Amino acid sequence: MEGCSDQGALPSDLIKTWTFIIRGGQAFNLKVTDRLGPGLTHDGNLTVWKMVGTEEEAVSVEGVVTGPLIGARVVRHTEVEDEEMRAIRRQQLGLEE
């Protein structure tokens, strides 16, 4: 899938956690790179799935899911991280003291 290949290290401000709410369409399994998260399995009803990646990668996944082969409806969002939340996350990951 274009835009979803491992590209080496990306700046952390480009990487976000995306939540996809997927409804309807055909049942499918989508394998993604390990960096993005677990594969996506949708039974054709309702699926909530999270991935970690860039906006370009999230748009690419959404395009596949909403495309003519699957035809699902998708609501996609990401949480907005303020400076305090970013500092806490970086501290918990051991990136800052």
Q: What does pLDDT average to in each consecutive run of 10 residues of the chain (97 residues)?
A: 51 84 97 90 97 93 96 92 82 75
Residue 42: the pLDDT is: 97
Residue 10: the pLDDT is: 67
Closest CA to 75 of 44, 53, 54, 47: 47
Whole-angstrom CA distances from 89 to 37, 40, 42, 51, 68 are 18, 25, 30, 17, 38
What's the rounded Cα separation, in Å, for the pair 9 and 30? 23
Residue 6: the pLDDT is: 47
Q: How do residues 57-82 score in pLDDT, each as one tens digit?
A: 999 999 999 999 999 999 999 987 78
- Please give the single-letter amino acid code of residue 29: N
